[in-house]
Amino acid sequence: MRNTVAVILFFYLAVSAWTQEANPGRPTVSTPATLTPVGYLQFETGVLGAEHSPDLPNQISFNEVMKFSVNERVELLLQSQPFAHSDLGLLGSNDPGDVSAGLQAVLLPGTKKRPTLSVSYFRRVFGGTAPDLDIGSNRQSALLLLSTDVAEFHIDTNAIFNEQIQDARHRAQLGQTLSISHGLPHKLGVGGELWHFTQPFQNGHAVGFLFAPTYTPRPNLVFDAGFNRGLTSTSTRWEFFMGFTYLLPKKLL
């Protein structure tokens, strides 16, 4: 009981202390071109439930992204799927997903009149056995990212280039995303996103619309929840998610 109270008290003091603002990349497919505060470690943690994906009826998975900016131009990233429970019809499976390490670099810092332009690169360092959803998994990925603010709306858009491998065949996958968010009173916010990925091994296209309300009780803590609706026959029909972004209040560098 004492340990539980101590943990709760520590967490409350941590999020209550003055700190830099978190820069959430979740729950959208889009990644912000802007970086997290320099020297602070950021965690993006969530759970995702998917229904009626092309290769499996249902799946629930946990995902984690860690970000750390070493300076105003360079950010290190690690993204993983520690666990996924997949319903395969008559059978079920519990598997880990992929782990990828990446780097994001700012090419053009933004101003009030100019967007931020960045590039990033990811490489898979561990190949998990969890079944893939509609987008699939990739060995390496390159992104061109742009973020800006227009009339109190925040915009993130990405162009994505993935390498996918199946049965020793290598194929290029192309993706585009557009996310728009807006702050609301009482520390609330709302965001919407349209995204598209080619499916080179299915000769199809995965397209979806995402909607996500957010709540920011502290500058370094953001909660999110929402859904994604697939818009093509080869897209996962429904995805439901919830999670949070937490920026550690203590500077590490």
Q: What is the pLDDT of residues 24-63, one digit of tens each?
A: 999 999 999 999 999 999 999 999 999 999 888 999 999 9
Q: What angle do CA 115, 248, 101 make, to 5 degrees?
A: 65
Res 18: pLDDT: 56
Question: How many Cβ atoms sit within 10 Å of the Cβ of residue 79?
Answer: 19
Give the whole-angstrom CA distance, residue 136 versus residue 238. 16
C-alpha distances in Å from residue 129, one per residue of 93, 112, 120: 10, 45, 25
Domains of the chain: 2-247 (2.40.160.40)
Q: Which of 104-113, 155-164, 186-195, 239-248 has the lowest mean pLDDT?
A: 104-113
pLDDT of residue 9: 47
Element (H, E) at 160: strand 153-166
pLDDT band at 201 (very low <50, low <70, confident <90, very high): very high
Rounded distance between C-alpha atoms, residue 160 and residue 202, angstroms: 18
CA angle 22, 28, 29 (to 5 degrees): 120
What's the pLDDT at 253?
78
The CA distances from residue 97 to 22, 43, 62, 82, 140, in Å, are 26, 18, 9, 6, 15
CA dist 77 and 47 (Å) reads 19
pLDDT of residue 168: 86
The pLDDT of residue 77 is above 90: yes
> 10 Å Cβ neighbour count for 49?
15
> What pTM does this model have?
0.90
Confidence band for 73, pLDDT divided at 50, 70 and 90: very high
What would the pLDDT profile of 92-132 be if each residue is shown by its tens digit?
899 999 999 999 999 999 988 899 999 999 999 999 999 99
